[in-house]
Amino acid sequence: MENILAMLIFFPAAAAVVGFLIHKDSMRQFGVVVTVVEFVLSLLMWYHFDTNVAGMQFSQNFPLISAYGINYIVGIDGISLFLVVMITFMTMIAVIGLTEKKDIKNLIITMLFLEMTMVGVFVSLDVIMFYVFWELTLIPMFYVIGFWGAEKRFYAAIKFFLYTFTGSLIMLIGILYFGYVYFQTTGVWSFSLMDWNSIVLPFDLQLWLFIAFFMAFAVKVPMFPFHTWLPLAHGQAPTIGSIMLAAVLLKMETYGFIRFSLPLFPDASVYFVPFMAALGLIAIIYTAMVAYAQEDMKQMIAYSSVSHMGVIILGVFALNIEGISGGVFLMIGHGLVSGALFMCVGVLYDRRHTKMIKEFGGLAHNMPVFAVVYAVVLMASIGLPLTIGFIGEFLSLLGFFKFSPVLTFIATLTIVLSAVYMLSMYKRTFYGKLVKPENKTIKDIFGRELVALGSLVVLIIALGIYPKLILEPLNGSVTQVINVMEIKAVNDDTKEKLKALNSIGEVK
């Protein structure tokens, strides 16, 4: 098992290279086989993961550029474990449920390269290596949007690239400066996250470096006011691109806050909590209202995604075990639910070639199975109890309640607002009479569509009923992050605030 992470990173890339030799008529089957094998490897990693160990497991360390302390360092803990499993699962489901018909061979090859870069982001413990994988995700996603997207695909792809690349360059400046500070402090170069966690930075420097990392993470979450690229990218991307963008790529940034910003800049993280809370609340309320005004089903789900990411931000910056655990759980839940929602839109678009809500109505008459599946996914997005969406939102808001009960009450409006626009959309799509002739011939989901969406529905309900499967391994690693923050904090006020926020205890 010492090479399991290397296999998870490089197997999709190796398979993608082999894919160039595969005939285009066999490429769909090849893609399914490769992604299934990758998912099985992630399950094998989970099986051998020791839930009693809070630190990094399956670690590997090889020198790359020794003179400057740049190494191949990988490892996972309870935080990254399930995010990696989610990546492999959602990639497999996206390929199984693939509805695109244009140049399938190159699309699947691109998705396999994208899977490699996404796994690399979540297992990298060398900050330069993390940055390389972070930036490499832009290339296949740019290609997916720009080549397989809708009529404004090139504009959407360029806007996506420029926004995210610019923010990432600011983070790179922060990374290089932190490496220089480490060199000045210790006399050696290192970009290892473990080494960086061993030094304490003065408060003023923490503030500037927090902002540098924030720019990259905030653009990709995306947080208000950097969110404008996301609805456009979702609206123009093909279904498989929207699934991966919502399910995985948006989680890279909130993961970055937990993995880097909190432990490296604890005092700055506490200092910026009111600011982060304000941005999270604006995202929750404002984008939910914008979602309600949408007539395009895909745009509605895109704005809804931004709104729910605001809840994750509140959980992460609650700075306690409940909030951070809830934030990570909501990352996983939002990945499954938003991926399923975009897949449902893809099902309708594949049959009608439109995403406008007014073009549908009465679909429950001839698509009863799809209507049930869509209803379950929609209820999970709203946060109905016994679904995965409820657990993540509840824990995130529970954690944030300890920071501000009033702001938490305002944040809960996202559940009400999302229920309003989601139920309205569902009613207009599935209830009433089949008025339009085009809708009378639409066939229900079957075969691979039913397998893909059915698998998501099972997980959405199963993890809503038994969240301990994820929360138990997650708890120890989140506790360790909080402990590192308390140890490295330079201000006594920061230490006291962290202790007060974590006075209740761990999540069971």
Report the mean per-residue pLDDT for the chain: 89
Write the CA distances from 56 to 79, 217, 349, 379, integer angstroms. 10, 23, 43, 35
Could you give the angle at which helices 104-123 and 27-48 cross, rounded to 10 degrees? 20
CA distance 272 to 281: 14
Whole-model pTM over 0.95: no
DSSP characters over 186-203: HSS---BHHHHTTS---H
Report the percentage of the chain scoring pLDDT > 90: 47
Report the percentage of the chain scoring pLDDT > 70: 98
The identity of residue 60, as a single letter, is Q
**pLDDT of 121 over the 90 cut:** yes
- At 455, the pLDDT band (50, 70, 90 cuts) reads very high
DSSP characters over 355-408: -BGGG---GGGT-HHHHHHHHHHHHHHHT-TTSHHHHHHHHHHHHHHTT-HHHH
**pLDDT of 22 over the 80 cut:** yes
What pLDDT, on the 0 to 100 scale, is given for residue 242? 87
Q: In what helix (H) or strand (E) does residue 341 lie, and over which residues does it extend?
A: helix 321-352
Q: 475 with 78: CB under 8 angstroms?
A: yes
Coil, strand or helix at 250? coil
- At 491, the pLDDT band (50, 70, 90 cuts) reads confident
| Averaged pLDDT, 41-45 | 95
- At 304, the pLDDT band (50, 70, 90 cuts) reads confident
CA distance 67 to 45: 33
Neighbours of 286 (CB within 10 A): 17
- At 241, the pLDDT band (50, 70, 90 cuts) reads confident
What pLDDT, on the 0 to 100 scale, is given for residue 507? 43
- At 508, the pLDDT band (50, 70, 90 cuts) reads very low
The partner residues of 61 in beta bridges, in order of sequence, read: 73
Helices (H), 97-202: 104-123, 127-136, 138-148, 153-186, 193-196
| Averaged pLDDT, 106-116 | 94
**pLDDT of 504 over the 80 cut:** no
CB neighbour list of residue 40: distance below 8 Å, 6 or more residues apart:
none
What pLDDT, on the 0 to 100 scale, is given for residue 191? 94
What pLDDT, on the 0 to 100 scale, is given for residue 102? 81
What pLDDT, on the 0 to 100 scale, is given for residue 500? 77
DSSP characters over 48-68: H--TT--S-EEEEEEEEEGGG
Cis before 222? omega within 30: yes
What pLDDT, on the 0 to 100 scale, is given for residue 152? 84
| Averaged pLDDT, 159-170 | 86
CA distance 405 to 352: 46
